[in-house]
Amino acid sequence: MKKLPLILSICALVVAIVACVFSLTGGEKKAAKADEAAETEGIPAGSIVYFDFDRVLEEYDMANDLRNNLQTKMQNVEQELKKKQNRIERDQKTFQDKMNKGILTTSTANEQYQRLQQQAAAFQEEAAKKQQEMAEEQQVMLNQIADAIKSYLDEFNAEKQYAMIISTQGAVLPAPVAVADPELDITDAILEGLNAAYVKTKAKENK
């Protein structure tokens, strides 16, 4: 009977899942400039303004809370799968040792071989399912963040009456806003409003 190969490591799975969350931040959290006021009073209605979407994702408290919750779930999935992987690999090694020593009958060896094959297949299926679940939870998280930002922007602009609010991303050459008057950057105001609204929402939920 041919040797039973050890199942593949779940490291690639874990890295892929965790990368999904870290990709949302684009790097380390940037510190907001303390001397920048969040006022937008000097920008007249009808102006085209913009905000740094990367900064909003990094400094929006709701986004950070959701991201931390998802990371905790990912760590739990990693630990659970790793324990199961180690157990299956130990069983496979024990089986292989017995085969090498010739202390199993052909019928017993066949039974154990089939059982280990089934365990390995079930593990791979479970790992793929967990990966899909984490991907779905990531998408739900993104949708929650996007919906909260859009809802706030609608409310914000109902008062400000800007002709257009553009979101821009990128550190080296931001897009779509590559160059603009810094006075039209309303990122601080957006963050201030989003975080204030989130504080109120959490307060209501905790009552």
pLDDT tens profile 32-59: 443 444 567 789 999 999 999 999 999 9
| Nearest to 123, CA basis, from 75, 84, 86 | 84
Token couple for 191: 């963050």
* Calpha distance 12→159 (Å, rounded): 48
pLDDT-based confidence at residue 166 (cuts at 50, 70, 90)? very high
| Nearest to 65, CA basis, from 201, 207, 179, 204 | 201
Query: For residues 21 and 93, which has the higher predicted lDDT (pLDDT)?
Result: 93
Q: Tell whether the model's pLDDT for residue 190 goes beyond 70.
A: yes
Q: Tell whether the model's pLDDT for residue 173 goes beyond 60.
A: yes
Distances (CA, A) of 128 to 2, 13, 26: 27, 8, 26
Tell me what pLDDT residue 7 has.
46
> What is the arithmetic mean of pLDDT over 57-69?
96
CA count, 13 A, side-chain hemisphere, 173: 0
| Nearest to 46, CA basis, from 155, 163, 152, 141 | 163
Token couple for 24: 């949302």
Token couple for 160: 């400000």
Tell me what pLDDT residue 206 has.
80
**Domain locations along the chain:** 11-205
* Calpha distance 203→207 (Å, rounded): 6
* Calpha distance 14→81 (Å, rounded): 9
**Judging by beta carbons within 10 Å of its beta carbon (0-12, 13-18, 19+), is residue 128 exposed, middle or buried?**
exposed
* Calpha distance 114→184 (Å, rounded): 67
Task: Give the list of residues 6+ apart from residue 165 with CB closer than 8 angstroms, or none.
Answer: 49, 50, 51, 153, 156, 157, 186
Q: Tell whether the model's pLDDT for residue 62 goes beyond 80.
A: yes
Tell me what pLDDT residue 123 has.
95
Q: Tell whether the model's pLDDT for residue 146 goes beyond 50.
A: yes
Q: Tell whether the model's pLDDT for residue 179 goes beyond 50.
A: yes
Q: Are 116 and 92 in contact (CB under 8 A)?
A: yes
**pLDDT tens for residues 75-98?**
999 999 999 999 999 999 999 999
Query: For residues 150 and 39, which has the higher predicted lDDT (pLDDT)?
Result: 150
pLDDT-based confidence at residue 11 (cuts at 50, 70, 90)? very low
pLDDT-based confidence at residue 5 (cuts at 50, 70, 90)? low
**pLDDT tens for residues 109-136?**
999 999 999 999 999 999 999 999 999 9
* Calpha distance 58→95 (Å, rounded): 50
